[in-house]
Chains A and B, each alone.
Chain A
Amino acid sequence: QLHLQESGPGLVKPTETLSLTCSVSRGSVSSGDYYWGWIRQPPGRGLEWIANIYSSGATYYNPSLRSRLSISMDTSKNQFSLRLSSVTAADTAVYFCARRTQMAAIILSDVFDVWGQGTMVAVSS
């Protein structure tokens, strides 16, 4: 069964760049009709989609964060990564990586069907 595992620094200073990696096992980031994404959840708050990368390498960003974001994929390591620059306290959150797929019904619905456990990132000096 597909498994995703996030890794990151835990603590980042304001104005610095946050770097996170999602390692994928029992599946390949470069095969299949899948997107690979990042979602975050500030403490005690709801979910916010951040970015996706397609298995071909095409990227998609939340417009509210686009100017600070970069998502990439390393097929040799079976990983995908997120970089968020110029962080502030508002970027403190649990960051989840997830697989996005399409579920067929009357419509084709995009869903996040497999999630990592999440990694907490605090922005503080």
Chain B
Amino acid sequence: DIQMTQSPSTLSASLGDRVTITCRAPQSISSYVNWYQQRPGKAPTLLIYAASNLHSGVPPRFSGSGVGTHFSLTISSLQPEDVAIYYCQQSHSPPHTFGQGTKVEI
């Protein structure tokens, strides 16, 4: 299995801050990374697919980048509704594993 490693585990920032979460793969997985947001008590929702493509309806303050082994999710201006846990997921090789999650706090 491809183990995805996210950092940091927890991130505390202020409203309006630019926030970046990273996700690393142990081998090249091209652009096969997706990002999900899980608000407290809710199911995950898709934010970004194929490393850098914004899913329909997701605010443009979210962006993704990366290729190969190093990926990142950026929130350009942190909003109260962005308090959540964020997960990366690789879809290069089954099983399509998730990172351990990054908790974003304000």
Contact = CB atoms under 8 A, between A and B. Distances in A.
Nearest to B87: A47
Given A64-B1, A109-B31, A112-B44, 14 more contacts: A46-B99, A47-B44, A49-B95, A49-B98, A60-B94, A63-B95, A96-B43, A98-B43, A103-B53, A105-B52, A107-B31, A110-B91, A111-B46, A112-B46
The 6 closest A-B pairs by CB, nearest first: A105-B50, A115-B43, A109-B50, A110-B91, A47-B98, A103-B49
A118 B43 contact: yes
Interface of B: 1, 30-32, 34, 36, 42-46, 49-50, 52-53, 55, 87, 89, 91, 94-101
B44 to A, nearest CB: 6
Q: How large is the interface on A (under 10, 10 to 19, 20 to 34, 35 or more residues)?
A: 20 to 34
A63 to B, nearest CB: 7
Given A103-B49, A103-B50, A111 B34 contact: yes
A110 B97 CA distance: 12
Contacts, number: 67
A101 B55 CA distance: 13
Interface in A99-125: 103, 105-107, 109-113, 115-118
A46 B50 contact: no
A62 B44 contact: no
A113 B30 contact: no
A109 B101 contact: no
A48 interface: yes
A118 B53 CA distance: 26
A46 B87 contact: yes
B95 A109 contact: no
Given A49-B97, A49-B98, A107 B32 contact: yes
A64 B1 CA distance: 10
A109 B91 contact: yes
B50 A115 contact: no
A98 B101 CA distance: 19
